[in-house]
């Protein structure tokens, strides 16, 4: 069997084991047995348990980013692009629950160097979402500075919400990827659409502070 095929089998087994058992509980013996190879061969190909887990994080992160990018049609209007990106994100996490568990739960809970691997993925997705929303906002406003200033935080919030919602959806048997994407779209789009049309929400005036400043009670 070609080395690349054998290595992919080992990685598949490792993602399943790490995703379902957790990094600390998973053993190289389990991974080797699931892959149908000897434990020495796993060490020969993928070195230590730490190296194997890092490789799993990188592979699953690259697959998720690629799925989101491929899912967005740049010819669609802004809401269509966001919807298609969210559908791609939730479809991928639903179809690869062990990979998502590795990225969202295991990698984040075991410190370095694993967290850094996830940060690279998250930064890439945030940058992609920022560019997607920013392009629509610039088109609506004809004001690049406004888009850059206001969209960055929205992109961070949107990605964070998507990550949490994907974990919940995967743990809830009757929630489909389409339903999860629609939930987040309904939550986020009203605010994004208002921002793009220069209708940002403003906090109410602080009445108590105003009274104190005016010397009244």
Q: Which long-range contacts (CB under 8 A, 24 or more apart) does 172-175 make?
A: none
- The CA distance from 216 to 170, in Å, is 54
- The CA distance from 96 to 118, in Å, is 16
- Contact yes or no for 126/156 (Cβ under 8 A): yes
pLDDT above 90 covers what percent of the chain? 24
Which pair of tokens denotes residue 184?
């987040």
Q: Is the pLDDT of residue 175 over 80?
A: yes
Secondary structure in 3-state letters for 48-73: CHHHHHHHHHHHHHHHHHHHHHHHCC
Cβ atoms within 10 Å, residue 159: 19
| pLDDT computed for residue 217 by the predictor | 47
- Which residue shows structure tokens 């957790």? 22
Total residues belonging to the chain: 217
Angle at CA of residue 125, ends 13 and 169, nearest 5°: 60
Higher pLDDT, 134 or 25: 25
* Cα distances (angstroms) measured from residue 194 to each of 93, 102, 140, 151, 184: 29, 36, 10, 12, 16
Average pLDDT of the segment spanning 177-184:
90
> Quick check: pTM over 0.95?
no
Cβ atoms within 10 Å, residue 204: 5
Phi and psi at 129, nearest 5°, equal -65, -40
Q: Is the pLDDT of residue 70 over 90?
A: yes
| pLDDT computed for residue 156 by the predictor | 86
pLDDT tens-place string over residues 88-134:
999 999 999 999 999 888 877 766 777 887 888 888 888 888 887 77
Average pLDDT, whole number, for the chain? 82
């Amino acid at each position: 069997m070609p080395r690349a095929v054998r290595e992919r089998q080992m990685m598949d087994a490792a993602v399943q084991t790490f995703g379902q058992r957790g990094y600390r509980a998973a053993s190289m013996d389990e991974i080797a047995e699931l892959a149908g190879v000897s434990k020495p061969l796993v060490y020969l190909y993928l070195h230590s348990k730490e190296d194997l887990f890092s490789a799993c994080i990188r592979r699953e992160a690259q697959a998720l980013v690629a799925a989101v990018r491929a899912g967005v049609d740049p010819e669609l209007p802004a809401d269509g692009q966001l919807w298609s990106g969210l559908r791609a994100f939730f479809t991928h996490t639903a179809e690869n629950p062990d990979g998502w568990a590795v990225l969202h739960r295991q990698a984040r809970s075991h410190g370095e160097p694993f967290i850094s691997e996830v940060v690279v993925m998250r930064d890439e997705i945030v940058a992609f979402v920022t560019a997607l929303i920013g392009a629509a906002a610039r088109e609506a406003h004809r004001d690049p500075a406004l888009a850059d200033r206001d969209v960055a935080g929205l992109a961070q919030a949107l990605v964070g919400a998507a990550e949490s919602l994907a974990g919940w959806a995967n743990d809830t048997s009757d929630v489909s990827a389409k339903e999860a994407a629609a939930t987040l779209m309904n939550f986020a789009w009203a605010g994004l659409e208002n921002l793009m049309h220069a209708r940002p929400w403003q906090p109410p005036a602080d009445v108590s502070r105003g009274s104190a400043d005016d010397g009244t009670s």
